[in-house]
Amino acid sequence: MTKIVLAARLQDMRSPAPPAARGDDTTAPRRYVLNGHAVTAPALAGGLHLVATPIGNLRDITLRALEVLAAADVIACEDTRITRRLLDHYGIATSLTPYHDHNAVQARPKLIARLGAGAAVALVSDAGTPLVSDPGYKLVREAQAAGIAVTALPGPSAVLAAIAVSGMPTDRFLFDGFLPAKENARRARIAELARLPATLVLFESGPRIGATLADLAHGLGVREAAICRELTKLHEEVRRGELASLAKHYEGDAERRGEFVIVIAPAADADAPADVDALLRAALARLSVKEAVAEVAAVTGEPRRAVYQRALSLAKEDGDG
């Protein structure tokens, strides 16, 4: 197992650029500050603008993203404190409004109303590309249903950054976000992922990284993997090895602070026939028979009728046992 610690190139954040006076004054200059120079942002058309923001290093932002953030009428974000640090760094004074899992039901109609009135709304996540592991997709769907223009500004992504530095196959991959927190549900989900002929990409938090890697080693067998921690930040680290050895490393006093992306190589026998019984048992543990059959049929490519008959047989066997 090897360990690669990459040198950081973070810009000094102790002296952020002074923000322009903006507030609710729509006539105030819409500017951002770049390398000490104030730049006027071009006018922005109304609509919903999905803006990717840095995942760590504040310099990983596009010029187009700065222009849109400066010119927008309002920025919808998960945590106003996190987004405000980014805006202050670039001297942007656009007003912020929270939009996250806990207030989305109440906040979404207000944003749609503003968009319907012609406002330019920028949507950002705390880090990276919006809609990846955040609630933004519902806002996008409602905006599109209302005939509102939706524009994406590509940029930083922890998923793509991790794949790029992992050394794992990149021709086919599946991003599955965070695995379930509860052990039984997590192991059931891992069983479903076991036969997929693709590189797997997962998110995980520091406190759960050890338990998750142990379950992955048990459920996926011998697999090469890369643990990417704090990508683009001061203590960026990429640790590679087999799942079992990585799980053992994170059992002890390994550094568990920060954000983790787990990248796992496909199984060596990924082209072998899928274990339909194992997938069905895992799916039936959390879904109805109809839902489990649909999911397993989609994953394996087996005829739905055959999977359904097998599900009935398994239910009978388990009941007799």
pLDDT in tens, 170-223: 999 999 999 999 998 999 899 889 878 899 999 999 999 999 999 999 999 899
- Of 207, 224, 212, which Cα lies nearest the Cα of 185? 212
Could you tell me the CA-to-CA distances from 66 to 17, 164, 286 in Å, in that order? 13, 25, 44
Please tell me whether residues 140 and 31 are part of one structural domain: yes
pLDDT at res. 298: 78
pLDDT reported for residue 3: 38
Instruction: Specify if 48 maps to a domain.
Output: yes
- pLDDT > 70? residue 109: yes
In a domain, 88, yes or no: yes
Measured between alpha carbons, how far is residue 228 from residues 36, 73, 208, 209, 276 in Å? Answer: 33, 36, 15, 11, 32
235 is in which domain, residue-wise?
A: 159-264
Shared domain check, 147 and 21: yes
Identify the CATH number of the domain in which residue 201 sits: 3.30.950.10
Q: Of 49, 23, 19, which is closest to residue 31 (Cα–Cα)?
A: 19
Q: How confident is the model at residue 253 (pLDDT cuts 50, 70, 90)?
A: low
Buried b (16+ CB within 10 A) or exposed e, 143-178: beeeebeeeebebbbbbbbbbebbebeeeebebeee
| Average per-residue pLDDT for the chain | 87
Say yes or no: 136 and 18 in one domain: yes
Residue 41, domain CATH? 3.40.1010.10
The number of domains in the chain is 3
pLDDT per residue as tens digits for the range 45-76: 999 999 999 999 999 999 999 999 999 999 99
- 165: in domain: yes
Confidence (pLDDT) at 315 = 80
The pLDDT assigned to 162 comes to 98
Residue 3 covered by a domain = no
Give the tens place of pLDDT for each residue, 135-167. 799 999 999 999 999 999 999 999 999 999 999
- Its pTM stands at 0.76
Q: Are residues 27 and 144 in the same domain?
A: yes
**pLDDT at position 8, please?**
35
pLDDT at 95 over 60: yes
Q: Are residues 145 and 49 in the same domain?
A: yes
Whether residues 149 and 222 fall in one domain: no
Q: Are residues 151 and 211 in the same domain?
A: no
pLDDT band at 6 (very low <50, low <70, confident <90, very high): very low
User: Same structural domain for residues 81 and 143?
Assistant: yes
Nearest residue to 53 (alpha-carbon basis) of 39, 40, 72: 72
Band (317; pLDDT cuts 50, 70, 90):
confident
